[in-house]
A and B are shown apart, each in its own frame.
Chain A
Amino acid sequence: EVQLVESGGGLVQPGGSLRLSCAASGFTFSSSWMNWVRQAPGRGLEWVAHIRKDGGEIHYVDSVRGRFTISRDNAKNSLYLQMNSLRVEDTAVYYCVKGSGWLTMNWGQGTLVTVS
């Protein structure tokens, strides 16, 4: 069974930094694209970034490019999101999502980031 457990969320001041982690199990992590998707309180879903299985291809949504960095450690079955220069509008639940190609297939339960 695919399991994705996010951690690292919390309260941070505008301009601050936070690093999210996602521990993956139940599948071959090194064979899967991985994503971060966020959802602001009471709002819809916004895809943030994804990374190819070998880390060799990465894409970001424009609103975070240059501030956020997605990375992975296949030896540790872990996905990361380094978030710098945080803004109030980055407040959201951040989901770690396993991909099948670019399809966002299996979702973690999310971790809440509050910028205030």
Chain B
Amino acid sequence: ENVVTQSPDTLSLSPGERATLSCRTSQTITYTYLAWYQQKFGQAPRLLIYDISTRASGVPDRFSGSGSGTDFTLTITGLEPEDFAVYYCQQYGTSPLTFGGGTKVEIK
């Protein structure tokens, strides 16, 4: 199983600041099969980024993904009030598909 680890658990930032979320997999991912999801309280997750760096339809360009191999980053440039949420990364190249434990981005 390809274990996914996210850090930090919580990120306390102010609106307008830059958020940098980290994701590490225990094995090199297959191709570029790494995704990021946003989940707000009481809602279903929403796909933000797939294939490491491709934004899903309708996702603002302040969200960007990068990385390779086993180390990946989600960057939110200029946090908006609606961006405060929990973010999960996931590898979807090998079964079982695995998610990280999540990073909560909270208002400082």
Contacts and interface: CB of A to CB of B under 8 A. Distances in A.
Interface of A: 35, 44-47, 50, 59-62, 95, 101-110
A104 B90 contact: yes
Interface stretch (B20-28, B40-48, B76-84): B40-48
Interface of B: 1, 33, 35, 37, 39, 44-47, 50, 56, 88, 90, 92-93, 95-102
Give the secondary structure class of A's interface: strand
7 contacts: A44-B88, A44-B100, A45-B45, A47-B97, A103-B47, A109-B44, A110-B44
A102 B33 contact: yes
Contact of A47 (B39, B44, B96): B96
Contacts of A108: 44
B44 A104 contact: no
Contacts of A109: 44
B103 to A, nearest CB: 10
Contact of B50 (A50, A62, A103, A110): A103
Question: 4 tightest A-B contacts by CB?
Answer: A47-B97, A107-B44, A59-B95, A45-B99
B50 to A, nearest CB: 5
A35 B35 CA distance: 15
Contact of B99 (A35, A44, A60, A106): A44
Contacts of A44: 88, 99-102
Given A104-B47, A104-B90, A107-B45, A62 B96 contact: yes
